[in-house]
Amino acid sequence: GKDGYRHYMEKELHEHPLVIGNTLRRMIDPATRRVVLPDLPFDLAAVPRVTMTACGSAFYAGMIGRYWLEGEARLPVDADVASELRYREPPLTPGGLALLISQSGETADTLAALRSLREGGQHVMSVLNVPESTMARESDVVLDTVAGPEICVASTKAFTAQLSVLACVAIGAARARGTLTDAREEELVQALLDLPGRAAELFGLGDAIREVAEVVADARDVLYLGRGAQFPVALEGALKLKEISYIHAEAYAAGEMKHGPIALIDRTVPVVALAPNGRLFEKTASNLQEARARGGRLMCFTDNSGAARMARIAEKMVVLPDAHEFTAPILHSIAVQMLAYEVALLKGTDVDQPRNLAKSVTVE
Ligand code: M6R
């Protein structure tokens, strides 16, 4: 049941801290505080390239994983949605790694992509929430997200569990490839272990998120902006809003604004910005300033150390706890999911069973 929550989505949002902790516990040895990947039937150090594919939210999790794999393990990652990849016929280097991500393990396009990547001589690694699924049976290695059953059609806790696994894969791959110092590994593992606690703190942000939700619920169109690994978080936020509140939302990499989308900006199109402090903070801030100068209403998700800077341009702010730049996208994902939920409550939609959608898409 819903354990007293109004919707499965609300219950599942509250399971983020637990699920992240349970997923990490499978992959981080508490004694050595090192990432332990299962025995692989291939050598990660020898993999020339990764082809990551999935659908919907699972694909956005993979996009965040791409930043981690490229940044930490210096592995080239090709990323495409499964419905395109399966027909694209990309040239594949034998011995490459296919990285598939799926909550259900039954998504038709992802499964078809898995089969064609295997045919192309790729090792198949899948990040799955259902260990007895079809994709699990057809993979060389399965990494489990320990999210438990996800009932709400809109994915929440499975998403952060996928991110937890992908972060560990990036750390494990980086170690195997010699691109990670011990000090950096310690730092990243600590950042991951801090996540459940930080995620639990997000539930104290309800009032700030509701204020943003009131602006968003009145809009017909909403823009989500982020840079770096916060760009896929923007995509996730926009998808979740579309799915459960039926409000049109688009996500852009903030630096792309001036190449077209900024023409959309006016008082009627709120901008949800993902801007925690970090390497791209000032660049994001100046993109947002440009939107603001054109009359855009900025709803800014930042963190404690970014709050003073953002307060100068944002109309409304949601201030998350500070986190390591590596893990900040995970916290911000939860926050944008919470926003979508609050907007859906204001709209009075059927949160757990949105129109036209199925939990698992087993037809092409
Ligand atoms: O079961 P899968 O993870 O393969 O499903 C993929 C997508 O259908 C899924 O993430 C979908 O986008 C969700 N409704 C997002 O909330």
* β 221-226/271-274 pair status: parallel
Report the distance separating Cα 332 and Cα 53, nearest Å: 22
Report the distance separating Cα 269 and Cα 297, nearest Å: 7
Does the C-beta of 154 come closer than 6 Å to ligand 1?
A: yes
pLDDT along the chain (364 residues), means of 10: 95 98 97 95 96 98 98 98 96 96 97 98 98 98 97 96 98 97 97 98 98 98 97 98 97 95 93 97 94 94 97 97 98 98 97 90 88
Say what the pLDDT of residue 290 is. 92
Say what the pLDDT of residue 58 is. 98
Q: What does the DSSP assignment read for 25-48?
A: HTTEETTTTEE-PPP-SS-GGG--
Task: Supply the Cα-derived Rg of the chain in whole angstroms.
Answer: 20
Two tokens, residue 86: 């399966």
Say what the pLDDT of residue 360 is. 87
Question: What are the residue numbers of the active site?
Answer: 359
Provide ipTM, 2 decimals.
0.99
Does the C-beta of 360 come closer than 6 Å to ligand 1?
A: yes
Say what the pLDDT of residue 266 is. 93
Report the distance separating Cα 20 and Cα 331, nearest Å: 11
Residue position matching structure tokens 């998700």: 301
Mutate to test the pocket of ligand 1, among 59, 60, 81, 103 (most ligand atoms within 8 A of CB): 103
Say what the pLDDT of residue 34 is. 96
Q: Which of 87, 92, 161, 97 is nearest to 130 (CA)?
A: 161
Please identify, by atom number, the ligand 1 atom nearest to the C-alpha of residue 360: 1
Does the C-beta of 162 come closer than 6 Å to ligand 1?
A: no
Say what the pLDDT of residue 41 is. 94
User: Would you tell me how many other CB atoms lie within 10 Å of the CB of residue 197?
Assistant: 12
Nearest CA to ligand 1 atom 4: 102
Ligand 1 centroid – CA 238 distance (Å): 14
Say what the pLDDT of residue 363 is. 86
Residue position matching structure tokens 């926003």: 339
Q: Is 224 exposed, middle or buried (0-12, 13-18, 19+ CB in 10 A)?
A: buried
Judge whether 339 and 209 are in contact, CB under 8 Å: yes
User: Would you tell me how many other CB atoms lie within 10 Å of the CB of residue 90?
Assistant: 12
Two tokens, residue 316: 């409304």
Report the distance separating Cα 86 and Cα 259, nearest Å: 30
